[in-house]
Amino acid sequence: MVATTRADLLAACLLEEASWRDLNALRYLERVCFPKDVWPLWDLIGVLTLPNVVRIKAVADGQMVGFIAGDIRQADGMSYIATIGVLPEYRGRGIGAALLQACEKRLPTLTIRLNVRTTNNVAIQLYLTYGYQKAGLWRKYYQDGEDALIMEKKR
């Protein structure tokens, strides 16, 4: 059967625990999703291997098409969404929202934080839709000088 509706397309995508075996796929996804903010290789290895990180991949058509990592910082009393990305050709079918909700479910803290480029309206809209509120601004946080909007969800 060929998936056509948004629900069909989402159902054709599986959410699975990611591991170090996904390093190459994650390198590709991060390069495509974050051309201005490419993580060093060591950070990618860390996000796939360190303890206290929730790492979930979305798999469709036999490949990783989305990824999210949530960093649990019990000492700070909060968790951080460290990264979330979906390959462009798989966007707009609910994969980003599904990844965010699956990750949140596994984060033990009541507060979740993240930062996002102030011009990234699509991501900001995603976070607003799922209960995050604007909580601050870090001036010139990104390498090219753009500000970071801090968003926070309390549950």
Ligand X SMILES: CC(C)(COP(=O)(O)OP(=O)(O)OC[C@H]1O[C@@H](n2cnc3c(N)ncnc32)[C@H](O)[C@@H]1OP(=O)(O)O)[C@@H](O)C(=O)NCCC(=O)NCCS
- Binding stretches for ligand X (CB under 6 A): 33, 84-86, 91-97, 116, 120, 122-123, 125-126, 129
CB nearer to ligand X: pick between 23 and 102: 102
Least Cα distance to 152 among 120, 122, 110 occurs for: 110
On the 0-12 / 13-18 / 19+ scale of CB atoms within 10 A, 1 is: exposed
Residue nearest to ligand X (CB): 96
The residues that bridge with 137 in the sheet, in sequence order, are 149
Minimum Å gap between C-beta 84 and ligand X is 5
CB nearer to ligand X: pick between 31 and 73: 31
CB nearer to ligand X: pick between 46 and 94: 94
Helical H runs in the chain? 6-11, 23-33, 41-49, 95-106, 121-129
Within 10 A of 124 (CB to CB), how many other CB atoms are there?
Answer: 17
Minimum Å gap between C-beta 56 and ligand X is 13
Minimum Å gap between C-beta 29 and ligand X is 9
Minimum Å gap between C-beta 42 and ligand X is 20
CB nearer to ligand X: pick between 97 and 135: 97
Q: Are 19 and 48 in contact (CB under 8 A)?
A: yes
